[in-house]
Amino acid sequence: MPPLTLCSSKSTTLRTARRKDGSSAPDLLIQYPFVPSGGPAGVGDNYLLLTALGGGGAGSRLAVINGAPQWRGNYLAAGVTSITMDVNNLGASDLYLRLLFEDPMMGPPQNEAFTTNPVILSAGSGWTSITFLIAPGNLTAGTGSVNAALTNATLIRIFHSPAAGFPPPPVVARLGVDNISATAVPEPATMLLLGTGLAGVAARVRKRRQARQSEAD
């Protein structure tokens, strides 16, 4: 399977639940396991399993943080308009999945933006490919402005929330995730990126587009 880019390695990722005061400091860091088989490609295809415990306190919400370098940078300059992933709702409750972009550096984020409309994933869904539209018109500002959050994104979260807001409510959930990728519109003449990771994303998109054009010829 392609490298899973939700986390910075093939072994762990981190989850954080907002504290009651609204700060972004993590209450609890959890190592999420990679299940060795049963991903979208079937036997032998591993995937990341995310869990939420429900109730109250740390670990009660499905809110997963990703600060991997390849997902930091200027999404507007890179022309990235959507993020696609394969997901599997292994729990008994429907999930309302959203993405959150924010820019914490040495303190709380000054700008946060989350997807306005959730992707609804039914309980027992099986593996499904979903797409989050992340152009400015598809996002709502939680703090600061949407454009600023996309211009200097240093953290991304995937979270469950029926209502458009963050932090999310508690839920008992088990969510399989795999094959995360970004999609860019046709590249502008110049891309001024804050991180080399997004430049790599755009380059891979461009390479795939050129390959498809070659096949068509």
Q: Compute the distance between CA of residue 213 and CA of residue 31 in angstroms, rounded to an integer.
A: 41
Q: How far apart are CA 157 and CA 212, in angstroms?
A: 31
pTM here is 0.74
**C-alpha torsion 159→136→101→122, nearest 10:** 10
pLDDT greater than 70 at residue 208: no
Both structure tokens of 149: 């959050």
In three-state secondary structure terms, 64 is strand
Give DSSP secondary structure letters for 116-153.
SSPEEE-TT--SEEEEEE-SGGGEEEEES-HHHHHHTB
Cα–Cα distance, 4 to 97 (Å, whole number): 18
* pLDDT value for 8: 27
Highest mean pLDDT (candidates 9-13, 41-45, 55-59, 203-207): 41-45
Q: In the beta sheet, which residues pair with residue 141? A: 113
CATH topology classification for 14-216: Jelly Rolls (2.60.120)
Residue 51 forms beta bridges with which residues?
A: 174
Reading phi first (left if > 0) and then psi (alpha if -120 to 50, else beta), residue 6 is in alpha
Q: pLDDT tens digits for 103-162?
A: 987 778 999 999 999 999 999 999 999 999 999 999 999 999 999 999 999 989 999 999
